[in-house]
């Protein structure tokens, strides 16, 4: 499970541990991973491993995979949750950070699926949960790169879901909307925007919805009526209209 040190990733870990699954947690922050692993082991009596890894780095991903293999762990459920965003006009952002976002949000997802999917297919069982976003359903000014990376994750997951039909392996794209996590702080977004009742959801709600959708073999999950309405509007509305409305009223990066 990637991006497990906080937010939705930590909630995925807690809910899987409650089901009795052993978990392998990876993220950059080793101290947080180890703290969560202790919590899960003590509360649920399961084995919880940690592997600190910068998922934007291909060599680090290889080392992580090798570490998991040396420990004799078999990945039955792969959760690609790691990711981050930025906010602001593209020309004003750090280009190196935008490239790091691409490597984390997109390249790592494809890389890990590329490694673990064939193993799952050979066993004829397994599940993959890729965390996209409601941002995936339309381009978003001032979050240009982030929305594009999540559009890739959604499209990739939906195509992979069909590719794996009949293999015993299922793929679900979870598309959260605004969620109370550290995402806003990292992206430089006003955290006051995450205090809107009925619009902003908890990490626990998003994780539960994602695992439930994976259980049912659903291709895509957009939890919450406001999120679903926004996703549908983003997908069916003319691009020119969507871009103009978002550029005027989207309260991020202004």
Give the torsion sign (CA, 55, 157, 153, 202).
negative
Rounded to 10 degrees, the C-alpha dihedral 156/21/183/53 comes to -80
Active site residues: 146
Please count the other Cβ atoms lying within 10 Å of the Cβ belonging to residue 216: 10
How far apart are the C-alpha atoms of 238 and 246, rounded to whole Å? 12
* Cα gap 221→215, rounded to integer Å: 12
Average pLDDT, the chain: 93
Q: For 22-48, write each residue's pLDDT tens digit.
A: 999 999 999 999 999 999 999 999 999
Q: Pick from 209, 177, 183: which is nearest to 196 by CA?
A: 177
**Residue 251: what pLDDT?**
83
Whether 85 and 183 have beta carbons less than 8 Å apart is answered as yes
What is the structure's pLDDT at 5? 86
Kindly give, in sequence order, each residue whose CB lies less than 8 Å from that of residue 42, ignoring residues fewer than 6 positions away: none
Residue pLDDT, tens place only, 41-82:
999 999 999 999 999 999 999 999 999 999 999 999 999 999
Alpha carbon 241 to its chain centroid, in Å, reads: 28
Q: Are 82 and 55 in contact (CB under 8 A)?
A: yes
So what's the pLDDT on residue 222? Answer: 97
Q: What is the mean pLDDT of residues 213-230?
A: 96
> Whole-angstrom distance between the N-terminal and C-terminal Cα of the chain?
33
pLDDT at position 213: 98
- Give dist(CA 212, CA 95) in Å, integer: 37
> What confidence tens digit (pLDDT) does each residue in 175-220 have?
999 887 655 555 455 555 555 555 788 999 999 999 999 999 999 9
Q: In 77-202, which residue ranges form alpha helices assigned H by DSSP?
A: 95-102, 108-123, 144-163, 183-187
Give yes or no for a contact between 87 and 70, defined as CB atoms under 8 angstroms apart: no
Q: Buried (b) or exposed (e) across 109-139, using 16+ Cβ within 10 A?
A: bebbbebbbeebeeeeebbbbbbbbbbbbbe
Look up the CATH number of domain 77-249: 3.40.50.720
- The pTM assigned to this predicted structure is 0.92
């Amino acid at each position: 499970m990637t991006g497990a040190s906080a937010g939705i990733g930590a909630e995925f870990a807690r809910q899987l541990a409650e089901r009795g699954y052993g978990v392998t947690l990876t993220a950059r922050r080793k101290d947080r991973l180890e703290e969560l692993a202790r919590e899960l082991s003590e509360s649920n009596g399961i084995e919880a491993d940690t592997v600190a890894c910068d998922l934007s780095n291909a060599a680090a991903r290889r080392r992580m995979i090798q570490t998991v293999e040396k420990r004799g762990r078999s990945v039955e459920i792969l959760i690609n949750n790691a990711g981050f965003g930025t906010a602001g006009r593209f020309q004003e952002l750090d280009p190196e950070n935008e490239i790091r976002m691409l490597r984390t949000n997109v390249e790592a997802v494809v890389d890990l699926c590329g490694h673990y999917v064939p193993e799952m297919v050979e066993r004829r069982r397994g599940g993959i949960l890729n965390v996209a976003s409601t941002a995936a359903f339309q381009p978003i000014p001032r979050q240009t790169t982030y929305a594009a990376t999540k559009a890739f994750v959604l499209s990739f997951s939906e195509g992979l879901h069909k590719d794996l039909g009949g293999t015993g392996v299922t793929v679900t794209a979870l598309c959260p909307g605004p969620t109370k996590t550290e995402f806003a702080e990292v992206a430089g977004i006003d955290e006051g925007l995450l205090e809107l009742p009925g619009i902003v959801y908890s990490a626990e709600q998003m994780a539960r919805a994602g695992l439930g959708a994976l259980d049912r073999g659903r291709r895509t999950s957009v939890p919450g009526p406001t999120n679903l309405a926004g996703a549908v509007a983003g997908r069916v509305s003319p691009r020119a209209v969507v871009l103009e409305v978002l550029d005027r009223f989207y309260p991020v990066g202004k």
